[in-house]
Amino acid sequence: MKRYIWQHPEWPAFRWNGNALLVPLGRARAAQARLLSRMGSLGLDGSTRARAENLVEESVRTAEIEGERLDRTRLRSSIARRLGLPTAGLPAPTAAEDGLVQVLLDATTGADAALTVARLKGWQAALFPTGYSGLRKIRAGRWRDRDPMQVVSGPVGRERVHFEAPPARQVPAEVRAFLRWFRARPRDLDGLVRAGVAHLWFVTIHPFEDGNGRIARALTDMALAQDEGARVRAYGVSAQIMAERERYYAVLQETQRGDLDTTVWLAWFLGCLERAMERAEGSLSTALRADALWRLPAAASLSVRQRKVLGKLVEAGPGGFEGGLTTRKYVGMTGASRATAFRELAAMAELGFLRQSGAGRSVRYELVLPDLEGNG
């Protein structure tokens, strides 16, 4: 009995209903156009900083999908060093964190370089520089050699098998077929659809013992960079997949147990891209307004403590400070006395950087970013 998509006699001849994808594809393209236009307004320095923050978010989320938690500050250090941004005061990243950043950057800045077996193996080795995944020794930089390779969930003894990958002996041939297709870049295939097919195809082959999901998402970013002809990535799929993780796995499992019809998968994937772009557009809007904030004449009068707190508010983004900024939080962040904190917060509110609400012990402050549209 054939249970998985790769067991179908016509594998890997994926098919889909083009008419069913017209609307989600059109919406994704419209969102892409808006976002790229926003990126253009940032300028070189602004786009580099936006790219750095996007990479931090993507690095954190692509690892989080696999159940790993990475340190944002160390990731920011690795990314800043590789993009030529200031690194003063930032801690050194671990080898694994630096390896992940290398993979994500190589996939996009080197999007036009040939995707080869050696490159894929190099990416996987960079993700596991010690040769271990947690406490488990793995074949870093080599294809998996064990069967069955299964995606499972649940406690030991009661595992549920969601998917079983092709046998290890088939992996070299499966990867070669994938690479031939990926390098060909069929002209009659839309670039966003191609990115969705690439993601599905690679995670179905599952060629490594570990790291397949992270590499699949890097390949998706590579395909998107090729589609846009740009190396400055304003958005990525990992953060959005993390936000929709349950649906992602459900659609993926449904498709991998199907008959090569990938319409449902591609419709979800294109919707995911649209939502990722809309999310990034909102972040870019905040970045533009934050940049305008620091250019306000009144910013020159702020103390080091005030600038530090404003910086943290900007970094946290809208709603990032649960319950708002309070005098107590200001004291904790700056080490100032309560009286000084109260005075400096009041001064920032008077200058228009903060909005005060509440009274007495319930006073809260929220960041006020400049209105770029000039609506007051």
Give CA–CA dist 162/142, Å, rounded: 24
DSSP string, 161-191: EEEEPPPGGGHHHHHHHHHHHHHH--TTS-H
- Start-to-end Cα distance in the chain: 66
Percent of the chain with pLDDT over 70: 92
In single-letter form, the type of residue at position 356 comes to Q
- At 362, which helix (H) or strand (E)? none
Give CA–CA dist 226/232, Å, rounded: 11
**Phi, psi for 361 (deg, rounded to 5):** -75, -10
Residue spans of alpha helices (H) in the chain: 18-40, 43-65, 72-83, 95-109, 117-127, 171-184, 191-205, 212-228, 238-243, 245-256, 263-295, 304-316, 327-334, 338-351
Compute, in degrees rounded to 10, the torsion defined by CA atoms 170, 100, 151, 15. -60
DSSP string, 197-229: HHHHHHHHH--SSS-HHHHHHHHHHHHHHHHHT
Give CA–CA dist 87/337, Å, rounded: 30
Residue 9 burial (10 A CB sphere; 0-12, 13-18, 19+):
exposed
Q: Classify strands 150-153 and 160-164 as parallel, antiparallel or unpaired.
A: antiparallel
73-91 burial by CB neighbour count: b if 16+ within 10 A, else e? ebbbbbbbbbeebeeeebe
- Residue 57 pLDDT > 90, yes or no? no
Give CA–CA dist 201/26, Å, rounded: 23
Q: Is the peptide bond before 91 cis (omega within 30 degrees of 0)?
A: no
- Quick one: which of 266, 375, 259 has its CA closest to 22? 266
Lowest mean pLDDT among 16-25, 134-143, 352-361: 352-361
Residues 6 or more apart whose Cβ sits within 8 Å of residue 135:
none
Lowest mean pLDDT among 20-29, 120-129, 260-269, 278-287: 278-287
User: 376 pLDDT band (50/70/90 cuts)?
Assistant: very low
- pTM of the full structure: 0.81
pLDDT digits (tens, 9 = 90+) for 260-310: 999 999 999 999 999 999 988 877 766 666 767 777 888 889 999 998 888
Give CA–CA dist 207/214, Å, rounded: 12
Neighbours of 159 (CB within 10 A): 11
- Quick one: which of 10, 25, 13 has its CA closest to 193? 25
Residue spans of alpha helices (H) in 84-150: 95-109, 117-127
Give CA–CA dist 71/337, Å, rounded: 30
pLDDT digits (tens, 9 = 90+) for 171-230: 999 999 999 999 999 889 999 999 999 999 999 999 999 999 999 999 999 999 999 987
- Residue 46 pLDDT > 60, yes or no? no
- Residue 374 pLDDT > 50, yes or no? no
Q: What domains are there in the chain, each with its CATH number?
A: 5-287 (1.10.3290.10), 297-367 (1.10.10.10)
> Could you tell me the two tokens for 106?
């190589």
